[in-house]
Amino acid sequence: MSLRLLLPENGVSDLLLTWPDEPEVYERGKTALDEQISIAALAEWLFTGCAPAAEVAVVKAPRPSVNPKLYTDLYGRTRGATLRRLYEDGYTIRLGNLQRVMPFLAGVSKVIQEETGYSNYIHAFLTPGGKQGLQHHWDQQMAVIVQLSGTKVWQLWKPLVESPMREYNDSVQRWKDDYVKTWEAAGPDKEILLQPGQTMLLPRGWVHNPLVSDPDEPSLHLTFAIRERTYLWLAEKLIAGAIEDPKFRDIVRPGRLTGAALTQQLRESRTELIGYLNSLDIAQVADLVHQAALSELEYTT
């Protein structure tokens, strides 16, 4: 069971049965993740220019991300020596979507989706000692943070928005310049020092400001982003088959997209949709939705 590579038994139960809404830390111990993924292995991959350029991001707080052209050659390949210099200058290197490029993690990701019905992706964050990459932000999915090497301080604030999604209430869409000043003035609601052998469940919406406080030891963690299925997703699946009915493929004429005609058109469409939904064989739809949960990837960056 792949989740048991990330979490101890009680953590797996919490994730599958209760889906925590507050950050929780678990003692994972060492698993195959610790054997397969290391700072030395990732550094060799990055600094020899073998890492896929599209999956590399470089950032150091408080600056914005480095333009990829700085560490990418004319052929679209990473410049390993440049990445090494940036890392030695205190930049965090994020190697994204490891499930696309590492067979071991591709297998882990696939089985996690089989266990949960949720698509997922895996990012690695390599941060030099005493430095910080990303600053305050929140995510729109449950993050399983697996600390592999070094330590990382996580300053955490309760969610400002309810149930953010990529298309709604994500931190980029809702960002205000005075957020950070307010958070820092109040101080974090929680502060967690995550150590090797520990895993943190970080629910979506929780504001986090991660940093490496130990100046002498770099940090490596993996973030498994577990993309929750929502009631909106179920609703989309319920109406997906409507395209097979010709009346739902008929055009709405331009003259019916305004005023009273539009209001009437919407009423008629709602009536047709309710009729369509009432006619569905829910057991048959459930079969299709289950298969979609196990197969739809929906990777994000």
What pLDDT digit, counting tens, does each position of 234-254 carry?
A: 999 999 999 999 999 999 999
Q: Domains in the chain, ordered, with CATH?
A: 3-228 (2.60.120.650), 232-295 (no CATH)
Would you call 279 exposed, middle or buried from its count of C-beta atoms within 10 A (0-12, 13-18, 19+)? exposed
Whole-number pLDDT of residue 50: 93
Give per-residue pLDDT as tens, 68-91: 999 999 999 999 999 999 999 999
DSSP structure class, residue 129: T
Q: How far apart are CA 162 and CA 204, in angstroms?
A: 9
Ranges of the chain with pLDDT below 50 = 301
Q: Which residues contact 272 (CB under 8 A, 6 or more apart)?
A: 247, 248
- What contacts 24+ positions apart, CB below 8 Å, involve 244-250? 245/276, 247/272, 248/272, 248/276
Between helices 80-88 and 39-47, what is the axis angle to 10°? 130
Q: Which residues contact 20 (CB under 8 A, 6 or more apart)?
A: 14, 201, 203
Whole-number pLDDT of residue 301: 44
